[in-house]
Amino acid sequence: MRWRKFNGETISLPIKQAVEDAIKREHAIGNKLKVCIGTDSQVKGIDTEFATVIVFLRERSGGFMFIHNERTTQKFSIKERMLVEVAKSIEIAYELCDLFTQYEVDMEVHADINTNPSFKSNEALREAMGYILGMGFAFKAKPEAFASSSCANKVVN
- From residue 65, give the alpha-carbon distance in Å to each of 57, 98, 121: 9, 19, 25
| Owning domain of residue 129 | 3-155
CA dihedral 112, 83, 1, 109 (to 10 degrees): 50
Check which CATH number belongs to the domain holding 34 and give it: 3.30.420
36 near 107, Cβ under 8 Å? yes
pLDDT of residue 118: 87
Per-residue pLDDT at 157 exceeds 80: no
Amino acid at 111: A
- In the chain, the number of structural domains is 1
pLDDT in tens, 54-75: 999 999 889 999 999 999 999 9
For residue 102, give the amino acid letter: Q
**Strand pairing report for 47-58 and 33-44:** antiparallel
